[in-house]
Homo-oligomer: A and B are copies of this chain.
């Protein structure tokens, strides 16, 4: 990890730039893949699965027997842990269901806004190096609370054509019934276009590699909504002298182990911590099973000393971290000043991994400085708002002339007529 001291404001842009990822070259080949799934349906999906996952899948849908078996064979302690995590996620996300707000803006002019579930949603759970069953909870729990009518889940099969039992357990626990053994860009294409087996959905959620990310972008251009732009995972830690070097190192590594393209940064106002944390990171990384990945991620990572807390917070806000850990005095005061972050972890006993799994907050969060404008997943991500209005005859007699005046000034005569015809006839 590279150590920087009091970098001037004009360097922040460069410091905060994430390692580049240009997937533009994938665009045309993935356009082709999506088109083949659109035309070929299940057969095309099977062909891509055979090609990319190296396994032949006849029945794309996971059967009820497979699900029951998963529930049976899974370790009870893990089942219990998943249950507790799901409960906590449920408790936090059920508070996010927006109430309907009614307003009478003028006498007889009633307007309101209602949140309505998105009818059909698709959840993508990556396979790859580890079975990310926690992602199932983070998407399926808010989808259930929102009341989505149809929840489709796609996840890649392993070489034996099976899905990890923890993923199936988490899915059945959260009421997901449509589970398919499909991974990668072909899963995104199938959920967007629909096939004989896979229902098409209106919005697709979930992390993935660069193929999945580009496929999501492409289907979003075709009219299927997506949760947010994806990028490699990242954490920023902000501390003063009260922080424990070993905790900070452990937190940085918990992000770095995600992948070689992950980024971690540590900003501190304590002059002695940069070297101490660096040494701790070096010590702890050596013992990790995924040390190669973590070491690669550390190469693009930074430790930054700032001699002033306000400047440190300003840099942190400019960076707009997916995960931000704050280990300082006066936590409330610092928390109040955070304006850009996905999720914030306050204090020495709040590691990021608590929120990754089980504290109740969502772990699907904006990366790559997108926290400046995007939120993480919430129950509202599985709903949309419809506004309503009802105007009485008397209401229109007051509001109508206002509308006529504005429509006329915008040179939209038919907009004016729609009011005038009612005021005249009425």
Q: Which residues of A contact B (CB under 8 A)?
A: 75, 77-78, 81-82, 84-85, 87-88, 91-92, 95-96, 98, 101, 103, 105-106, 109, 111, 113, 116-119, 129-134, 166, 202-203, 217, 220-221, 223-225, 229, 244, 246-247, 250-251, 253-254, 256-258, 284, 288-290, 294, 331, 335, 338-362, 366, 368-376, 378, 380, 384-393, 395-396, 399-403, 405-407, 409-419, 421-422, 425-426
Known A103-B360, A119-B340; judge A354-B113 contact (CB<8 A): no
How many protomers of this protein does the assembly include? 2
| Contact residue among B77, B343, B370, B376 (Cβ-Cβ distance under 8 Å from A389) | B343
CA–CA, A119 and B373, complex, Å: 8
- In the bound complex, CA of A250 to CA of B416 (Å): 9
User: Are A244 and B409 neighbours in the complex by a CB distance under 8 Å?
Assistant: no
- Cβ–Cβ < 8 Å partners of A84 in chain B: 402
Once A113-B96, A402-B357 are accepted as A-B contacts, the answer to whether A284 and B417 lie under 8 Å apart by CB is yes
Query: Are A386's CB and B344's CB within 8 A?
Result: yes
B396 lies within 8 A of A349 (CB): yes
Check if B88 sits within 8 Å of A105, measured CB to CB.
yes
A108 vs B104: C-alpha distance in the bound complex, in angstroms?
A: 42
Q: How far is the CA of A84 from the CA of B95 in the complex (A)?
A: 35
Assess whether A388 is in contact with B344, with CB atoms less than 8 Å apart: yes
Identify the closest chain B residue to A368 (Cβ).
Answer: B223
Known A109-B88, A349-B391; judge A407-B357 contact (CB<8 A).
yes
Q: Which residues of the partner chain B approach A96 to less than 8 Å between Cβ atoms? A: 101, 113
Q: Which residues of B contact A105 (CB under 8 A)?
A: 87-88, 91-92, 359-360
Q: Is the CB of A343 within 8 A of B387?
A: yes
A421: nearest chain-B partner, CB-CB: B250
CB atoms of A422 and B257 under 8 A apart: no
Residue from A346, A407, A415 whose CB has the most chain B CB atoms within 10 Å: A415
Q: List 19 A-B contacts (CB under 8 A).
A: A92-B101, A95-B101, A116-B340, A133-B406, A246-B421, A250-B422, A257-B414, A257-B415, A335-B388, A345-B390, A353-B403, A354-B391, A354-B400, A356-B415, A357-B407, A357-B415, A358-B402, A371-B386, A378-B385
